[in-house]
Amino acid sequence: MKYTTLPNTDIKISKICLGSMTWGNQNTEAEGHAQLDYAFDNGVNFIDTAELYPVPAEAKSSGKTSEIIGSWLQKSGKRDKVVLASKIAGNGDYTAHIRTTGFSPEGLKDAIHRELKRLQTNYIDLYQLHWPERQTNTFGVRDYSHNPNDPWQDNFNEVLHTLDGFIKEGKIRNIGLSNEKAWGTMRYLEESNTHNLPRMMTIQNAYSLLNRVFEGDMAEVAIRENIKLLAYSPLAFGVLSGKYIKGIAAENSRLKLFPRFARYSSVQATEATTRYMKLAEDNNLSLTQMALAFVNQQPFVVSNIIGATNVTQLKENIDSINVSLSPEVLAEINAIHAAIPNPAP
């Protein structure tokens, strides 16, 4: 395994982070524990979850993923050996079953206390805001379209003040963003710098061969401000394993169980995936490892969040840390990207 540090801290994290959003739905508790055991034994010390998980988000399963992690932490006794990240869900119909108070002081208090209980721990190493409360273009929406009737009011300062209180209480150690844009990221940093408030350390956004939108304004923000990317969906819901194109996806694979998750399944995305698969095979690589190695090598990525539904997949994902793409392969990747740019934003 390779390691780096959480930006602006001395906390060592593995370059591969273990994602968990299938546990409690596609995966049982026993399967989640098996993945945690394997990942930890192979050098992964960074685990990411969210109160929303597992996905799809439903009231009956909300928080199950974190409960599975919590039971593993208790059973294994490894809490002090792992770095634990979680998230508060933002407002919206998708999360109304959790709460409707957003990132208000009451909402954050409720979210943090409930998550600590589920995780069976007294602190969270990295606590993230899962997506903006304001209306902006996230989750596959390509362009920003302003809504003058957006009811959101600027609360960046209040959110940071509230989180500062939980940091001082020792319940969270660091804070980060998720599904955020350049404007929101810089506003948080501005408030931190101006008012001596805690600083956002990371941003967790989608990033893969099929979605390189982060390479625009966000990449410059990430590097110049040292608020590095935790890349999620690096395999684009498993599409970049090639299993759907080859017709070998298991019956419990995500897109077979939940076909509405079509973000990475457009005609353009399928064509790009086909080209990437040929490139990988021509260079004696699996598409999975080429796709993950591409993310691992980006200078703005601090850790790559991989997910799997079985240990065989997990092994291949973790082993990608040992793959280094040549300048020639990277040039071919960029040629495909130029021909079919960001087919799944």
Q: What is the pLDDT of residue 203?
A: 98
The domains of the chain, with CATH numbers, are 3-239+300-324 (3.20.20.100)
Q: Which residues of the chain have pLDDT under 50?
A: none
Report field, pTM of the whole predicted structure over 0.85: yes
Residues 222-238: tens digit of each pLDDT: 999 999 999 999 999 99
What is the 8-class DSSP label of residue 15?
Answer: S
- Name residue 85's beta-bridge partners: 48, 126
Is 53 labeled as catalytic in the residue annotation?
A: yes
Of the candidates 53, 188, 232, 244, the residue annotated as catalytic is: 53
Residues 236-292: tens digit of each pLDDT: 999 999 988 888 777 767 676 677 677 888 999 999 999 999 999 999 999 999 999
Residue among 167, 301, 148 at smallest CA distance from 222: 301
Contacts of 163 by beta carbon, 8 Å cutoff, 6+ apart: 108, 127, 172, 175, 198
E-assigned strand segments in 133-181: 172-178
Q: What is the pLDDT of residue 241?
A: 94
Q: How far apart are CA 16 and CA 25, in angstroms?
A: 23
